Amino acid sequence: AKSAGGNRFELADPEADARAITRHGLTTALPAALERGEFFIEYQPLVHLGDGSVRGAEALVRWLHPQHGVLGPDRFIPLAEHTGLIVPLGRWVLEQSVGQARQWRERHGDTEPLRINVNLSPCQLTHPGLVQDTVDILERSGVAPQTLCLEVTESALIGADDDLLKPLRRLAEMGVDIALDDFGTGYSNLANLRRLPVSVLKLDRSFTQGMQQFPADPVDLKIVEGIVSLAHSLDLAVTVEGVETGAQAEQLRILGCDTAQGWYYARPGPPERLHELALVDAAG
Ligand code: C2E
Ligand code: CA
Ligand code: CA
Ligand code: CA
């Protein structure tokens, strides 16, 4: 940038400028983008490691920006959190995802309904409307609370006091599952897990990466083994993220993980794709 007056020029950093403009531009464009329907959701299957069946999907939001094309959530979720737009955006994601779960159920007949996992940002947790909004959305769509799993990152719940946990407890009492996302990246005291109203641990991708070779790094194996046995002793299910190879899937299955997610099974995709995967699965 040029300095305002005088004869001195600061050296411009064009890349930093472009980044700043984009950040600023994206931030101010967010509200209109939500109104114009520029966001969409992709679904990535959650697969049972024991029998390979599709049990549900995680909803992952994207922004089809008129100039920049498809933007991933890492580009705009932090901005939406910063401005508070995450609350209406998150509500929209929840509504879409629950509506999708209902459609899957209708097309699926009487097989076990596909579950839907939705990410919650820390700002949504502290927003007073969370419980009521969730109840309303479930009731309007006629979807059972047991079909929904809300994912909250481990870091959002570190040191959480009772006020923060209260809405999650209420949702858990209604039958909504709460998953602790990116587990293992924070510094939570494992004993602390007992006071959290969670029923699922989502083991961070970094652990899965340690399983890339066969046999895997023995230390990684021990750590995952320990987490799984602790989780199961607390009645928590374990989901693993970022499974990219069959070898990883096999080792994680042997270690006792319950559910897996990753490119090995499918990339995030449109809802019809999930439906097809689940049907193929039910047929064969
Ligand atoms: P996350 O919740 O940890 O989601 C998993 C991320 O890993 C997704 O990235 C997914 O596309 C990616 N992934 C899945 N399988 C693999 C794999 O096998 N290998 C690798 N390398 N990556 C894999 P994505 O879609 O870019 O989402 C990034 C993050 O954005 C999410 O991380 C989540 O924290 C956040 N996010 C996404 N949608 C929402 C939303 O609706 N609300 C909020 N608050 N956050 C969201
Ligand atoms: Ca997640
Ligand atoms: Ca995660
Ligand atoms: Ca992550």
Instruction: Check: CB of residue 167 under 8 Å from CB of residue 133.
Output: no
Left if phi > 0, otherwise alpha if psi is -120 to 50, otherwise beta: which for 151?
Answer: beta
| ipTM reported for the complex surpasses 0.95 | yes
State the distance from the centre of ligand 3 to the C-alpha of 151, rounded, in angstroms.
Answer: 8
Rounded distance between C-alpha atoms, residue 252 and residue 126, angstroms: 34
Query: Mean pLDDT throughout 167-175?
Result: 97
Average pLDDT over residues 163-191: 89
Tell me the C-alpha distance between 60 and 93, whole Å. Answer: 9
Instruction: Please state, for a pLDDT cut of 70, what percent of the chain lies above it.
Output: 91
Expressed in angstroms and rounded, the spacing between residue 11 Cα and the centre of ligand 1 is: 37
Pocket test for ligand 1, best of 39, 95, 119, 120 (most atoms within 8 A of CB): 119
Query: In this model, does residue 210 exceed pLDDT 90?
Result: no
Query: Nearest Cα to 99, choosing from 119, 114, 88?
Result: 114
Q: What is the mean pLDDT of the chain?
A: 90
Query: Is the pLDDT confidence value at 3 over 50?
Result: no
Looking at residue 154, its pLDDT comes to 86
Q: Which of 280, 282, 250, 281 is nearest to 264 (CA)?
A: 250
C-alpha closest to that of 101 among 62, 154, 150: 150
Cβ–ligand 1 distance for 95 under 6 Å, the answer no
What pLDDT sits at residue 108?
Answer: 78
**Residue 157 Cβ contacting ligand 1 at under 6 Å:** no
Compute, in angstroms, the gap from residue 260 CA to the centroid of ligand 3: 12
